[in-house]
Amino acid sequence: MKTDDLIDLLAKDAAPQWPFRTLYFAALFCGVVLAGVLFFTTVGLRPNLAQAAETLRFPLKFALMLPLAMGAAGMALTMAQPAAGNGIWGWLLIAAAALAAGAIASELYVLPSDMWMSNLVGQNAVFCLRTIPMLALGPLVCLLLVLRQGAPTHPGRTGAVAGLAAGAIGATWYAAHCPDDSPLFVAVWYSLGILAMMLAGYAGGRSLLRW
């Protein structure tokens, strides 16, 4: 080996390597910012935000989506590090599911049965189905790119969980615009938008996260 080649090799070995967790959270932050920029440039906050914030239903949407996003993002990180434990991430997902079930049960109890369908359908179902995946695309791309630096043993499954995180991030941003605050609407239409991102993440994971 030539001396110059040896020096170059040693220099590369000596170069600082960012820990995978640091890279992951940086990519996650970038994804959140990308979704936020897209949100404010294309959708924006709902006009009656101040009045909506005084109700229980509006903040409940964030109480559902934020732990879902955090739990799924953490699970995707641990799935890319086989030796790492699940920590609290799985519990966050369980908490989000339990809160959703309680909110749905409460809504069905409080509302007359003839109002269930109108609250479930809402005003902006189609717009919701388009907007959540649109806002979630940036976070999903960021997560899939950084997960390639890890060692996921189940690429498709890891991609699907990344899609869940990205979908929940997109849904969190969209919740600040969405005029439909009923837990019935959130349970159906937000879930469908997030499911679309899980399917996209699964497909992306199978092709991008293979060793």
Instruction: Tell me how crowded residue 133 is: count the other CB atoms within 10 A of its CB.
Output: 23
- Structure confidence at residue 84 (pLDDT): 62
- Structure confidence at residue 18 (pLDDT): 66
Cα–Cα distance, 83 to 89 (Å, whole number): 15
Cα–Cα distance, 8 to 21 (Å, whole number): 27
Backbone angles phi, psi at 85, to 5 degrees: -85, 170
135 with 168: CB under 8 angstroms? no
Instruction: Tell me how crowded residue 116 is: count the other CB atoms within 10 A of its CB.
Output: 14
pTM, rounded to two decimals: 0.88
- Structure confidence at residue 20 (pLDDT): 86
Cα–Cα distance, 72 to 163 (Å, whole number): 9
Spell out the per-residue pLDDT of the chain, length 211, in tens: 455 554 454 444 444 566 888 999 999 999 999 999 999 999 999 999 989 999 999 999 999 999 999 999 999 999 998 766 667 888 999 999 999 999 999 999 999 999 999 999 999 999 999 999 999 999 999 999 999 998 888 999 999 999 999 999 999 999 999 999 999 999 999 999 999 999 999 999 999 888 7
- Structure confidence at residue 151 (pLDDT): 84
H/E element, 64 = helix 57-79
Spell out the domain ranges in the chain.
Answer: 54-208
- Structure confidence at residue 153 (pLDDT): 87
Furthest-apart CA atoms within the chain: distance in Å: 82
71 with 93: CB under 8 angstroms? yes
CA dihedral 199, 118, 69, 163 (to 10 degrees): 10
What letter would DSSP give residue 126? H
- Structure confidence at residue 210 (pLDDT): 81
